């Protein structure tokens, strides 16, 4: 995954634009309501989803595998925050605990073992009563079933990405013992490309 993500990012850089994802806006509203003040964003990228939290007085720490993305977060989004350079599969990077965790479009890039470890590692970084929110591709998306099937619900796409598509059974199976509260379907507009149909995502919320 490391090599794919770094080379893909170098090629496309700020392909997602600078507007926050819809699920980031939803997570921000929820965190503000719950008075969450300190969050971790694994896969922070170049920071487009971090600013909306910072603008609402929520402290942010990031994890990012791409040095290019971190440099863009500093230079273009002016993020003066702690960003750990490394893979989320190597969590934890410190001994800090958080009120909340928000993760956008990352967990579906991991294989079965990596996903389970990642969910557990995130849960272990939460303070008591903390929340973690994952936004991930759904089996309802039109990309499901495209490319070479690697395992159940997981496919090798023509881009080289290996995507895992969540359904309700897998959500309950993987998040069930980590304080699963709810999971909601969400259309995620591809804001950088006006004629692209919205991606079919699922937003998963857990509480410790």
pLDDT bin (cut points 50, 70, 90) of residue 7 is: very low
Under the banding of pLDDT at 50, 70 and 90, the label for residue 188 is confident
Q: Which residues contact 155 (CB under 8 A, 6 or more apart)?
A: 143, 144, 145, 146, 147, 148, 149, 162, 163, 165
pLDDT of 3 over the 60 cut: no
Check whether 6 has a pLDDT greater than 90. Answer: no
Position 16 scores a pLDDT of 58
Mean pLDDT, residues 108-120: 96
Grouping H, G, I as helix, E, B as strand and the rest as coil, residue 37 is coil
The pTM of this model reads: 0.89
Q: Which two tokens stand for residue 74?
A: 């500093």
**SS3 readout for 147-195:** CEEEECCEEECCCCCEEECECHHHHHHHHHHHCEEEEEEEEECCCCCCC
The Cα–Cα gap between 188 and 105 comes to 10
Q: What is the pLDDT of residue 12?
A: 47
List, in order of start, the domains of the chain with CATH numbers: 2-207 (3.40.50.150)
Average pLDDT over residues 163-178: 96
User: Do the beta carbons of residue 207 and residue 133 sit within 8 Å?
Assistant: no
| Cα 146 to Cα 154: distance, rounded to the nearest angstrom | 10
What is the pLDDT, as a whole number, of residue 19?
80
Distance CA 30, CA 181 (A): 13
> Could you tell me what percent of the chain has a pLDDT over 70?
89
Phi and psi torsions of 16, nearest 5°: -90, 0
Residue 38 corresponds to which tokens in the numbers above? Answer: 């300190």
Q: Could you tell me what percentage of the chain is helix, strand and coil, using 3-state DSSP and rounding each to the nearest 5?
A: 30, 30, 40
The pair of three-digit structure tokens given for residue 144, joined into one six-digit string: 């499901």
The dihedral built from the CA positions of residue 40, 27, 9 and 19, taken in this order, carries a sign that is negative
C-alpha 24/C-alpha 31 separation (Å) is 10
Residues 117-129 have a mean pLDDT of 97
Distance CA 154, CA 12 (A): 24
pLDDT tens for each residue of 49-103: 999 999 999 999 999 998 988 988 888 778 889 999 999 999 999 899 999 999 9
Under a CB-based contact definition with an 8 Å cutoff, are residues 88 and 118 in contact?
yes
In the Cβ-directed half-sphere of 202, how many Cα atoms lie within 13 Å?
21
Mean pLDDT of the chain: 88
Instruction: Identify the pLDDT of residue 77.
Output: 74
Of all residues in the chain, the percent with pLDDT exceeding 90 is 71
The confidence score (pLDDT) of residue 90 equals 93
């Amino acid at each position: 995954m490391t090599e794919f993500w770094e080379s893909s990012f170098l090629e496309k850089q700020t392909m997602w634009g600078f507007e926050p994802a819809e699920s980031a806006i939803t997570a921000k509203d929820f965190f503000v309501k719950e008075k969450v003040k300190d969050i971790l964003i694994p896969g922070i990228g170049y920071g487009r989803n971090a600013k909306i939290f910072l603008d609402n007085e929520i402290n942010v720490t990031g994890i990012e595998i791409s040095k290019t993305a971190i440099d863009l977060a500093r230079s273009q989004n002016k993020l003066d925050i702690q960003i750990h350079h490394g893979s989320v599969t190597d969590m934890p990077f410190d001994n800090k605990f958080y009120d909340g965790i928000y993760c956008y479009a990352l967990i579906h890039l991991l294989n079965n073992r990596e996903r389970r470890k990642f969910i557990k590692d995130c849960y272990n970084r939460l303070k008591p009563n903390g929340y973690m929110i994952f936004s991930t591709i759904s089996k309802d998306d039109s990309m499901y079933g495209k490319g070479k099937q690697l395992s159940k619900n997981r496919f090798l796409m023509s881009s080289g990405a290996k995507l895992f598509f969540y359904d309700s059974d897998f959500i309950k199976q993987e998040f069930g013992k980590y304080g699963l509260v709810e999971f909601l379907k969400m259309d995620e507009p591809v804001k950088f490309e006006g004629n692209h149909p919205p991606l079919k995502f699922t937003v998963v919320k857990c509480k410790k």
